[in-house]
């Protein structure tokens, strides 16, 4: 601690201007460091909030596609799928949502986004859950009150943020296609067979809707913003340091040098020295008034000495 005090506040071994410059530089440097650390925490929190908002928006968009398909498209196409003709997957909400997500991935801004509806026992093998998705589904099954899971996931393209919701058999109408093969539409059996996607039960969690959004670009933008802000802080604090140094020199150091010079002159010829700074109302004025009284006392003492010498 004494070494720190000596470094930043000086020990009287350097000129006062140098001591003030070192102290000011230390204070500003510490302020910049603390500011950058706090801004890094703030920007990191904002980046995570932005990633969560993007994931939530993408999930809501896909859920809206599902709802539209369920309410508007399925009633039209479902009767056409009852026969043994061509099965029209557009009637299935999950197919519509995943198809729209695939179209969005064709746009550069959504290339690293993904949406899947994965199930352990799906009708379409394309929707078969992988090991990661199976773990998510099992977590929902172990805790039925759990409504959402989120976190980070490593992919060949880098680390992404995922948000998952459970797929639950909430309507009796869902069991028409997923209870037993004899209840399923003939066109569905011709398209996908009679081995997958059956045996589901009402209120059972059978899969997960999972959205992944990229986070590397967001954190890179956060780092760029932090670097730019740090550079601006360095420039701003540097300007403040220069201005403060100039102000201190003008208000304190220069008047003190003038008073010191006049004090030296007053020690030899007090009658010729005038401390104009005594009119100031600050500490510099107080110091000047003290030297003025000292000068007057010195002048009186010197005059008394001369008078004694004259009488002698």
pLDDT digits (tens, 9 = 90+) for 276-294: 777 777 777 787 788 778 8
Residues 6+ apart with CB under 8 A from 137: 118, 119, 120, 129, 166, 205, 206, 207, 208
Name the DSSP letter for residue 277: G
Distance between CA atoms of residues 140 and 145, nearest Å: 8
Q: What is the average pLDDT across 111-135?
A: 92
**Cα distance between residue 41 and residue 306, in whole Å:** 75
Which pLDDT belongs to residue 310?
A: 67
Matching residue, tokens 């498209």: 73
Query: What are phi and psi for residue 120, nearest 5 degrees?
Result: -70, -35
Q: What is the pLDDT of residues 50-65, one digit of tens each?
A: 999 999 999 999 999 9
Q: Which of 225, 214, 195, 189 is nearest to 39 (CA)?
A: 225
Q: Distance (Å, rounded) from C-alpha 114 to C-alpha 59?
A: 10
* Residue indicated by tokens 């099954």: 141
Q: How confident is the model at residue 297 (pLDDT cuts 50, 70, 90)?
A: confident
Strand partners, 165: 209
Helix 93-104 to helix 16-68 angle, to the nearest 10 degrees? 140
What is the per-residue pLDDT across 239-275, written as a single tens digit (0 to 9) for each?
888 888 888 878 777 887 777 787 777 777 777 777 7
- Mean pLDDT, to the nearest integer, of 177-183? 87
Report the distance separating Cα 180 and Cα 208, nearest Å.
21
Tokens found for residue 132: 């990661």
- CATH hierarchy code of domain 55-214: 3.30.450
In the chain, ranges of CATH 3.30.450 domains: 55-214
Distances (CA, A) of 128 to 72, 116, 134, 254, 261: 27, 10, 9, 81, 91
- What is the distance between the alpha carbons of residues 68 and 35, in angstroms, rounded to a whole number? 49
> Is residue 10's pLDDT more than 60?
no
Cα distance between the two ends of the chain: 60
Distances (CA, A) of 129 to 1, 104, 118, 207: 61, 22, 5, 8
Closest CA to 253 of 264, 245, 265: 245
Is-above-0.85 flag for pTM? Answer: no
Average pLDDT, the chain: 85
Tokens at residue 78, please?
């479902």
More confident residue, 91 or 280: 91
The whole-number pLDDT of residue 133 equals: 93
Tell whether the model's pLDDT for residue 312 goes beyond 70. Answer: no
What is the pLDDT, as a whole number, of residue 211? 94
State yes or no: pLDDT of 90 exceeds 70: yes
Burial 192-219 (b: 16+ CB within 10 A, else e): beeebbbebeeebbbbbbbbbbbbeebb
């Amino acid at each position: 601690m004494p070494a720190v005090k000596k470094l930043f506040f000086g020990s009287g071994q350097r000129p006062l201007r140098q001591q003030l410059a070192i102290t000011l530089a230390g204070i500003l440097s510490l302020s910049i460091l603390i500011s950058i650390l706090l801004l890094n925490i703030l920007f990191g929190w904002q980046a995570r909030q932005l990633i969560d908002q993007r994931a939530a928006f993408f999930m809501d968009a896909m859920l809206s596609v599902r709802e539209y398909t369920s309410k508007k498209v399925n009633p039209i196409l479902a009767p056409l799928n009852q026969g043994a003709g061509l099965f029209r997957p557009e009637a299935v909400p999950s197919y519509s949502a995943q198809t729209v997500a695939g179209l969005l991935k064709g746009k550069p801004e959504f290339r690293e986004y993904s949406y899947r509806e994965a199930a352990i026992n799906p009708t379409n093998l394309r929707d078969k859950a992988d090991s990661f998705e199976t773990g998510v589904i099992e977590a929902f099954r172990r805790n039925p009150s759990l409504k959402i899971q989120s976190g980070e996931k490593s992919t060949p393209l880098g680390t992404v943020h995922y948000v998952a919701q459970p797929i639950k058999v909430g309507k009796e109408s869902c069991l028409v296609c997923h209870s037993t093969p004899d209840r399923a539409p003939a066109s569905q059996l011709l398209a996908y067979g009679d081995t997958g996607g059956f045996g589901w039960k009402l209120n059972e969690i059978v899969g997960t809707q999972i959205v992944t959004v990229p986070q590397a670009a967001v954190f890179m933008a956060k780092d760029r913003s932090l670097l730019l802000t740090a550079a601006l802080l360095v420039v701003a604090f540097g300007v403040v340091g220069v201005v403060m140094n100039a102000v201190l020199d003008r208000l304190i150091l220069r008047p003190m040098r003038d008073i010191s010079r006049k004090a030296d002159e007053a020690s030899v010829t007090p009658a010729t020295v005038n401390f104009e700074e005594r009119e100031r109302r600050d500490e510099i004025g107080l110091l000047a008034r003290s030297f003025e009284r000292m000068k007057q006392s010195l002048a009186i003492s010197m005059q008394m000495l001369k008078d004694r010498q004259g009488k002698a």
